[in-house]
Amino acid sequence: EGADWRWAPQANYYYGPFIAQAEYTVSAVTALAGATKAEVRNTAWQASVGYILTGEKATYNGYAPKNNFNWDEGQWGAWEIGLRVAQLKIDGDVFPVFADSASSASEATSYGASVNWFLSKAIRVSFDLVDTRFARAPGFKSTTNLLIGQDERALLTRFQIGF
């Protein structure tokens, strides 16, 4: 019935091996619960910086290592480090009609650090350490489900082959 919409501007900056990115998103959706209807607006943002330790020039379309990984020739590809902070806020009108405030988070803020190894333009290995903190919705109660009441700390890895 209502018009759902999203607004998501972003900015990118590249200077030699330095990378910076930021984005902000507002998402409006029509929520229905029985006869109750409301437009809810959630917001999110993120900012990240990265630096290519091996000196390659960063671009919007990525980059290729100066030298692909080659064990015999002592070439290690490209290495990048990065930091990121992000936040999601749920519209307060969601609680308690559309989401259970006794067991839901109203906000999540995460901090991350990453190391990326580009063996070639097509092969990447990533290691990310992420810490996410949750703000609980008004009326949140401790629960016997320990996962719902905890913040998160995770080590993520990824092996990627691009075509």
Residues comprising the chain, all counted: 163
Q: Model confidence over 45-95: pLDDT tens digits?
A: 999 999 999 999 999 988 889 999 999 999 999 999 999 999 999 998 888
Give the bridge partners for 81, in sequence order. 51, 115
Q: Model confidence over 111-154: pLDDT tens digits?
A: 999 999 999 999 999 999 999 998 876 667 666 555 666 889 99
Residue 37 above 70 pLDDT? yes
Reference 32, options 66, 4, 70; nearest CA is 4
What pLDDT score was predicted for residue 160? 94
Residues 6+ apart with CB under 8 A from 35: none
pTM score of the predicted model: 0.84
